Amino acid sequence: MTEPAAVPVPPTPPVPLAALLAREDLALRRIAGPREPDPVVHGAHASEMADPYPYLLGGELLLTAGAHLPEAAAGLDTHCDDYVARIVAAGGAALGFGLAPVHDTVPRALAAACEARGLPLLEVPPQTTFSGVARAVWQLMAQARHDGLRRVTEAQQSLAAAASRPDPVPSVLRQLARRVGGRAVLYGPEGTEVAAAGREPESGAGPALARLARVVRPAGPPPAGTATAPAAPAPSSATDTTGGTRLAAYALGSGRGFVLGIAAPRREAGDHTIASVAAVLLSLLTGEHRSGSEAARSSALVRLLLGAAPESVAPLLGGQRWQVVHGRPEGRAPDAVAAAALGAALGSPLVDLGEDVVRVLVSGEREPLAQRGWTLGVGAAAAPADWPAADVRAARALARARATRAPLVRHGARPALADLVPPDEAEAHARALLAPLDETLAATLRTWLSLHGGWDRTAVALGVHRNTVRQRIARCATLLGTDLDDPDVRMELWFALRQR
């Protein structure tokens, strides 16, 4: 019989076996197997199969009443040893043996096999059902998942607050070290320690962390005139263990060779997410420290407030033509960390966090790409004087992206027939035609027309019920005194709405 060297466990929060044993309503009792370190389980599964191997994913507490055990004592030792060996080979975390109705006590042969194979063995009393044990496991897993999400959320908030302090880099490192219970180090492009916070790791962990940081640091260009093959790109993160210390290194996205290193006595669920948030913040902070673009943006803001024209300020921001990008995260409201991450992904620090949308000003030389977890609307590149109009176009593109469930929609920039009409005449016509409509009705009609009269998609774009859309469109038709099913009418209204 061939046993695999390692068995993966399901991606569920682990439940310490001690927490399950502490449940007084279950009255479980450990009678065999190791006690240190405390084993963990990732689920519960009841089976009376003589060979449970094909039915286990790994990490389970296997529950059995022993119906598969032979009645003859002569073959019991061999059967129990083979049975426990198959559970261990499948990655089972522990075995629970139910008393009654098949067996009054746990067979000694089974306890001996669990002790020899290092498999924890629990006695399940008659009054405790297997379904009750399974329910307790899932309850503990749900609590662990809730605690993990709360821990990550609190860490994100504290890291964002630290990044806004006068000493942002040391503050972020201090907060990160406290959250992971270890030490956080920022390494510079030359590999030197720029800043650090937290308790010193055990002997030897410091040099090991510095070596791990070199693994993720991008390699510099070869010397001039050297003919060498391009080096493989360095990984963005790496982990290692030395003694009892867990190590992790993250390359910062500033592109300047900074690396975040973490040394902690343990690695818990959520640590990677917390460290990733810190890495994003440090990427922005180190990028500012090195480039001085923050000072240029501050200067641009001051000049605008003092009355300078946008055209004269644009060179301080790095270009003359810019694109406005509107973004909304899926399933939640945006926060400061998410906004900063979107700006970093789009390659721009010019980010504005609104109540339900993030606006990013992106250089016209860049091509905004779809971002996982975001819905984006992109306006065409525009000169500074046209930025307000570009902002409106980006908002419309986002509304269309949400309605069509597309990850990214770009506003069209090609000339149209409307460009042949003088702007003042077009505006006067639009005001006269749309005078009976208030802002809510006009916005509903514009969205409805842009989506080709789709009731459901318009409701999604506006965040209202489809019956509300029908009532508003019917009201528009009544106030305008026209037939909205006529394509000529729709074309004229669309022209007017674009000028409004």
Look-up: residue for tokens 């083979």?
82
Q: How far is CA 361 from CA 254, 280, 371, 391, in A?
A: 18, 19, 16, 9
CATH 3.30.70 in the chain: give the residue spans. 316-410
Give CA–CA dist 279/275, Å, rounded. 6
> Does CATH place domain 316-410 in 3.30.1480?
no
- The token pair at 472 is 């508003």
Q: Per the omega criterion (within 30 degrees of 0), is the bond before 37 cis?
A: yes
Of the chain, the end-to-end C-alpha distance in Å amounts to: 78
Least confident range from 91-95, 313-317, 322-326, 421-425: namely 421-425
Give CA–CA dist 194/184, Å, rounded. 11
CATH class name, domain 164-218+236-291:
alpha beta
CATH 1.10.10.2840 in the chain: give the residue spans. 417-499
Residue 146: pLDDT over 70 = yes
Measured in residues, the chain has a length of: 500
Give CA–CA dist 270/148, Å, rounded. 6
Q: How confident is the model at residue 1 (pLDDT cuts 50, 70, 90)?
A: very low
Give CA–CA dist 383/416, Å, rounded. 19
- The token pair at 216 is 């993720």
CATH code: domain 15-139 is 3.40.1390.20
What's the burial of 488, exposed, middle or buried (CB within 10 Å: 0-12/13-18/19+)? exposed
**DSSP 3-state assignment of 326?**
strand
**DSSP 3-state assignment of 23?**
coil
What average pLDDT does range 2-28 have in this prediction?
A: 77
Look-up: residue for tokens 């609190």?
154
Question: CA torsion sign, 348 to 350 to 353 to 354?
Answer: negative
CATH 3.30.450.30 in the chain: give the residue spans. 164-218+236-291
Question: What integer pLDDT is reported at residue 256 of this predicted model?
Answer: 67
Q: Assign residue 208 a region: left if phi > 0, alpha if psi is -120 to 50, beta otherwise? A: alpha
Do the Cβ atoms of 175 and 151 come closer than 8 Å?
Answer: no
What tens digit of pLDDT does each residue of 253-303 get? 755 678 999 999 888 878 888 998 999 888 887 764 444 556 666 677 777
- The token pair at 260 is 């975040």
What average pLDDT does range 140-149 have in this prediction?
A: 88
What tens digit of pLDDT does each residue of 350-380 get? 888 888 899 998 888 888 888 888 899 998 8
CATH 3.40.1390.20 in the chain: give the residue spans. 15-139
CATH second-level architecture of 417-499?
Orthogonal Bundle (1.10)
